[in-house]
Amino acid sequence: MSRLNPLEIQRQTFDRKLRGYRPDEVREFLGRVAEQMEENARQRGELRAQLEQLVHEVDDFRRHAAAADEALRIAQRTAEATIAKAEAEAQRAITQARALADRLIDEATRRVESLEVLVSQLRGSRRAARSDLNRIADLLVGTVQDDEKAEQQDSFEPSLALLRPRAREGSGER
């Protein structure tokens, strides 16, 4: 059986029989049925167009979602690579900083040891200088004491007679 369309329904005719249906009512009913079928067909067409549009939109959304998923995977891999690179760089910087700190500590330790040796030498030099000064001071004190003793023993009294000229013999002059 073929599908009916609204125009076929409106044009349909029936044979008349005695005691049959009222033709005007049948025609009116068939007209309403035809209009309803036409409205249903129009709505189905709109719904098919909407469905087709929605299918296209869903396909577009799926493509966009797939592209977005791919972009997210790439971004995730990029982020992970960036993090790994940053962690490696940080580890390298830490290693270099520790090596530098060790070198600086070693250098500072050597300098402290050198300074301790120098301070020890300076202390020895100070003790030697103090000992030399004590000997010199003892010598000076001894010299002063010797000079004082010599002065006490020396009873030399200066006399003016030594400063006067002597009379010359035979000259008579004074």
Average pLDDT over residues 16-39: 83
Q: What is the pLDDT of residues 54-78, one digit of tens each?
A: 999 999 999 999 999 999 999 999 9
Whose tokens are 């189905």? That residue is 44
CA distances in angstroms from 155 to 74, 144, 148, 150, 160, listed in the order given: 119, 18, 13, 10, 16
What integer pLDDT is reported at residue 173 of this predicted model?
52
Let me know: does 6 contact 38? Beta carbons within 8 Å.
yes
Output the DSSP codes for 101-129. HHHHHHHHHHHHHHHHHHHHHHHHHHHHH
Total count of residues recorded for the chain: 174
pLDDT band at 164 (very low <50, low <70, confident <90, very high): low
Secondary structure letter of residue 171 according to DSSP:
T
pLDDT band at 9 (very low <50, low <70, confident <90, very high): confident
Q: What percent of the chain has pLDDT over 70?
A: 87
Q: What is the largest CA-CA distance in the chain?
A: 221
Cα angle at 42 between 40 and 46, to 5 degrees? 115
| Residue spans per domain, the chain | 6-109
pLDDT band at 94 (very low <50, low <70, confident <90, very high): very high
Count of C-beta atoms within a 10 Å radius of residue 121: 10
Let me know: does 5 contact 37? Beta carbons within 8 Å.
yes
Separation CA 95–CA 85 (nearest Å) = 15
